[in-house]
Amino acid sequence: MKRFLLLSLLALAGCRAISQPGTQPAPVAPPSRASKIVAAARAQVGDVYDPAYVQLAYPGGDAPKGRGACTDVIIRALRAVGHDLQKLVHEDMKRNFALYPSRRKWGLKRTDANIDHRRVPNQMVFFRRFGKALTKDVSAKMLAQWQAGDIVCWDLTGKGGPPHTGIVSDKKNATGVPLVIHNLEVCREEDVLTAWKIIGHFRYPR
């Protein structure tokens, strides 16, 4: 009987200790903007590259699930933090069509909400106007300026392709250079930040 009473008292003491103030687990911080962007980009890994023109709903239109161009990686990633590039680019182009390369590059005379936001040169103009343009230098002393969730643009002209874009990852290679999530043939997360000539580095929103 005495042993039973002693065990009961010890158990009660343990319960009281658990309920004491200051012993509760620390609250988990909500995901950051950058981590949400990276997670949404990473969710596209394995998607097939398909730059085909398609009719999209507006706003919030999207290319077919599991398929898309490099720009769709950016579009889908930014939607995860509440920014619809389709609507944002379309509205800015309607007001400032001459600032975008649609006329001189593609001979267009009006906006097209199905494709305008899915073109790298248009995205670059938009990010220069409303985001933060950052260094294109990937030397060791500048690596700290390459943050997860940033957007990088490359010139693939010499490789037989158009401009290309991707999302800077929160993972890094052995020398500290961030990986990039991008869709060239299939969406991958890989060590390609310095693989091509960098023509843009942006943070959106600022």
Strand, helix or coil for residue 44? coil
| C-alpha atoms less than 13 angstroms from C-alpha of 144 in its C-beta half-sphere | 1
CB 32 within 8 A of CB 146: no
pLDDT tens per residue, range 14-52: 434 444 555 566 666 678 999 999 999 999 999 999 999
Average pLDDT of the residues in 66-94: 98
Among 29-38, 125-134, 140-149, 158-167, which is the least confidently predicted range?
Answer: 158-167
User: Which band of pLDDT confidence, cut at 50, 70 and 90, is reported for residue 202?
Assistant: very high
pLDDT at 144 > cutoff 50: yes
Q: Which residues pair with 168 in a beta bridge?
A: 180
- CA 150-37-79 angle, to 5 degrees, is 115
Residue 206 pLDDT: 85
Average pLDDT of the residues in 165-188: 98
Residue 163 pLDDT: 95
Give 92: exposed, middle or buried? Use CB within 10 Å, 0-12, 13-18, 19+: buried
pLDDT tens per residue, range 82-127: 999 999 999 999 999 999 999 999 999 999 999 999 999 999 999 9
Residue 15 pLDDT: 39
pTM of the model: 0.85
CB 44 within 8 A of CB 183: yes
pLDDT at 159 > cutoff 70: no
Domain 33-203 adopts which CATH fold? endopeptidase fold (from Nostoc punctiforme) (3.90.1720)
Q: How far from chain centre, in Å, is Cα 64?
A: 19
Per the structure block, which two tokens stand in for 198? 């960098």
Residue 99 pLDDT: 97
Give 109: exposed, middle or buried? Use CB within 10 Å, 0-12, 13-18, 19+: exposed
Mean of pLDDT over the chain: 89
Share above pLDDT 70 across residues of the chain, in percent, rounded to a whole number: 84
**Per-domain boundaries in the chain:** 33-203
Handedness of CA 156, 115, 42, 141 (dihedral sign): positive
CA separation, residue 189 to residues 11, 23, 43, 196 (Å): 51, 40, 10, 15
